[in-house]
Amino acid sequence: MNDDILNAIETRLGLSRRSFMQFCAAMAATMGLPKGADAAIANAIASSTRPPVIWLHFQECTGCTESMLRAEHPALDKLILEIISLDYHETLFAGAGHQAEAARKASMAANKGKYVLVVEGAIPMKDGGIYCKVGGHTALDLVKECAADAAAVIAIGSCAAWGGMPSSAPNPTGAVGVDEIIKDKPVVNIPGCPPSPYNFLSTVVHYLTFGKLPELDGKGRPKFAYGRIIHENCERRPHFDAGRFAQEFGDEGHRLGYCLYKLGCKGPETFANCPSILFNDIGSGSWPVGTGHPCIGCSEKGIGFTKPIHSLAEPVYITPPESYARIVEEQGQGITLASGATMAVIGGLAVGAGAKFAANLGKKKPEDSSIGKE
């Protein structure tokens, strides 16, 4: 990467080159990319081809956007706006009304097949989708219209990923996730309520750098972020393995930071990287379990907003330590008849030889004495 490009970055993003490289390295680390990937990311961002992004809001609380805005890496707000060309976003738009809708249509027409569609919020299906409308169009129509020519579709937050809170029983509006509607192209799900902003940013940067979406799991989630279960990486896991649990809120075990499983922690059945990358860049403990509240499984369909918060989790993997006591412990074999007999024979021979030797100790050899005399 030459100085000219970095200088251009400095002017374009208003970032020192040090801050910029730090950001690129952080992105690479979040995705678990090998050494050198940060340079590739830096090159991709430095190039002026910013993908246009259309960001739609449906049945949601805007928490995902708020989470994005609070990403604390240096000047990230600038990077969001400068890495990507955010052509339509209802929360961040200066314009409103027909002006905003016109901007969306214009961008979609100009960047046909090139723009990234980000959906935040669930889509109501009941009664023709009349329960959520923007600019007179139902969410259902909008998502179909915008996804038709999108290069990639990203569903941010649990609502867009699988229905989230609006889809909780009795689900009065028939809320569903994006991948229930868009079937003809892959939808990247970034569930969470809200998800870590870096899971979203890393997905976008991956797309920018490598020209394709990151590897996804069976539920359309990037494996780098949702490949591991919370329980396996939780800082309180040693307490679980040692059988130490908070029995109730505020008891001694709770204050000592014991495992929150008994209080209903959904870590054992929720896939997310929360314990690894935490939230808000303020250091250790900055995630729900770190603060002493059990994980509610917000990112997991069928768990978050479905199971009661303090009901017991169903561990997906039960992985006791290797040294766990077995029903029948492998033990050394006792003495067998054959080996006993062999040892008795050897022992007998040794005793016999020893006795013979001891008996001969005091005797002089007759041959020697005869030689001595001569």
Partner 1 sequence: MAFSRRNFLKGAAAGSAAAACAAATTTPAEARENLTMPPKAVGLLYDSTICVGCKACVVACRDANDTHPEFSTEEKLWDNPLDISGKTITVIKMYSEGTGQHKDQEKDGFAFMKRSCLHCVDPSCVSVCPVTAMTKDPVTGIVSHEPADCIGCRYCIVACPFAVPQFEFDKAFPKLLKCQLCKHRQAEGKIPACAEVCPTGATLFGPVTALKEEADRRLAVPAGKPNTFARKTVGSPDVHEHPNAAYVQHAYGTTEMGGTQMLLLSGVPFEKMGYPKLRERSYASEAETIQEGIYHDLIAPVALFAGLLYVARKNTKNHDEEE
Query: Please, which residue, 246 or 277, has the CB nearer to partner 1?
Result: 246
**Residue 194, preceding peptide bond in cis (omega within 30° of 0):** yes
The minimum distance between CB 324 and partner 1, in angstroms, equals 5
Q: For residue 4, what is the enclosing H or E element? A: helix 3-13
Query: Please, which residue, 20 or 261, has the CB nearer to partner 1?
Result: 261
Contacting partner 1 within 4-33 (CB under 8 A)? none
Is residue 280 part of the contact set for partner 1 (CB under 8 A)? no
Number of residues that bind partner 1 (CB under 8 A): 24
Q: Which of left, alpha, beta for 157 (phi over 0: left; psi -120 to 50: alpha)?
A: left
Q: How many beta carbons lie within 10 A of that of residue 8, not counting itself?
A: 13
Q: For the CA atoms of 199, 201, 203, 209, what is the dihedral angle to 10 degrees?
A: -140
Query: Please, which residue, 238 or 285, has the CB nearer to partner 1?
Result: 238
Contacting partner 1 within 217-276 (CB under 8 A)? 240-245, 247, 259, 261-262
Closest C-alpha to 180, from 224, 249, 125, 103: 125
Query: Please, which residue, 216 or 259, has the CB nearer to partner 1?
Result: 259
Using CB under 8 A as the criterion, what x/- string covers residues 291-330 for binding partner 1? --------------------xx-xx--x-xx-xxxxxxx-
Is residue 100 part of the contact set for partner 1 (CB under 8 A)? no
Pairing, β 123-124 against β 175-176? antiparallel
Q: Give the CA angle between residues 143, 69, 74 to the nearest 5°.
A: 135
Is residue 169 part of the contact set for partner 1 (CB under 8 A)? no
Tell whether residue 132 is among the known ligand binding residues.
Answer: no
Query: Please, which residue, 326 or 365, has the CB nearer to partner 1?
Result: 326
The minimum distance between CB 295 and partner 1, in angstroms, equals 15
Q: What is the DSSP string of 218-273?
A: TTS-BHHHHSSBHHHH-TTHHHHHTT-B--STTSHHHHTT-B-GGGT--GGG-B--
Cα-to-chain-centroid distance, residue 88: 28
Rg (CA), the chain: 34
Query: Please, which residue, 47 or 247, has the CB nearer to partner 1?
Result: 247
Tell whether residue 265 is among the known ligand binding residues.
Answer: yes
The minimum distance between CB 263 and partner 1, in angstroms, equals 9
Site residues, partner 1 (CB under 8 A) = 240-245, 247, 259, 261-262, 311-312, 314-315, 318, 320-321, 323-329
Please enumerate, by residue number, every residue annotated as part of a binding site for [4Fe-4S] cluster: 61, 64, 159, 193, 231, 234, 259, 265
